[in-house]
Amino acid sequence: MSEKYGKVYLAGSGPGDPDLLTVKARRLIDEADVVIYDQLPGEAILSLIPEKTEKIDAGKYSGNHTLTQDKINEAIIEKAKEGKTVLRLKGGDPYVFGRGGEEAEELVKVGIEFEVVPGITSAVAAPAYAGIPVTHRNSNSMVTFITGHEDPTKEETGLDWELLAKFDGTLVIFMGVKMLERNCGELLKYGMDPKTPVALVEKGTRPDQRVTIGKLENIAALAEERNVKAPAITIIGNVVNLHDILGEQHSNY
Ligand code: SAH
């Protein structure tokens, strides 16, 4: 490993409320020479990056998806090779549906030292702010995280919906607002109870958080009616009923 290479920190920003940054991520925001960020952490967190720090918006590398990720990897590696301390800041936790694992693999390949800084994933924090514990002894004692967003042009979904429809735990679906109707349809097709409670949490932990509660049979229509937009997370299971008891929590940063 070359002495002159800088170190890369692959860090999660949490779900958006700056108070939910880890102490380590907060310190790295102040100390890094370069911050390579996605839009997902949100303005409140991105505005904490000091003036003097070099900032690279990874989201600007849009277009072809694969190329995008390649370009991001290139930027991270280039800056580390310049001897800079690089903070790669991603929403939520870097290793939960954020391609953080792939970025880390690239760093290993080229021999650049890196450290992962876990963040609070939106899969847990967004439901929590919406008054929904993802597990509860009386209803769901298992939880699974799945990605709902897949290429709509693909015929096969790649996910075993039959297995998921029978899963006796909470399902937390990332992304996939656009695929909600298809995904709920798959669960219904394989026999999941149409009355299963479902929550959609949009912009969880942020001041403009919005919660939509429904059932498996009508949540897609409700989402359409209320014009639900990304970032939003879907929670399916009886734990959703706790929303009425525990109540919603709001940030006003
Ligand atoms: N690594 C991230 C997830 C990245 S995938 C994490 O651990 O949270 C992006 C998806 O995460 C979004 O499409 C959405 O489903 C979810 N997400 C991220 N932040 C969110 C938030 N504040 N509220 C609701 N969903 C969020």
60 or 96, which is more confident?
96
CB of 15 closer than 6 A to ligand 1? yes
**CB of 44 sitting under 6 A from ligand 1:** no
228 lines ligand 1 (CB under 6 A): no
**pLDDT tens sequence across 13-46:** 999 999 999 999 999 999 999 999 998 999 999 9
Ligand 1 pocket, 86 CB below 6 A? no
CA angle 47, 51, 54 (to 5 degrees): 95
Residue 178 has what pLDDT?
85
Distance separating alpha carbons of residues 142 and 170, to the nearest angstrom: 6
What's the 3-state SS for 214-249? Answer: EECCCHHHHHHHCCCCCCEEEEECHHHHHHHHHCCC
97 lines ligand 1 (CB under 6 A): yes
Q: For residue 130, how far is its CA from the centre of ligand 1 (angstroms)?
A: 14
Task: Give me ligand 1 centre to Cα 81, in Å.
Answer: 30
Average pLDDT, rounded, for the chain: 92
175 is catalytic: yes
Residue 239: CB atoms within 10 A of its CB come to: 23
Pocket probe mutation, ligand 1, options 174, 178, 205, max atoms within 8 Å of Cβ: 174
Q: Is the dihedral of CA 76, 77, 81, 85 positive or negative?
A: positive
- Which domains are assigned to the chain? 8-117 (3.40.1010.10), 122-246 (3.30.950.10)
pLDDT digits (tens, 9 = 90+) for 92-138: 999 999 889 999 999 999 999 999 999 999 999 999 999 999 999 98
Q: Where are the beta strands (DSSP E) in 13-84?
A: 34-37, 54-57
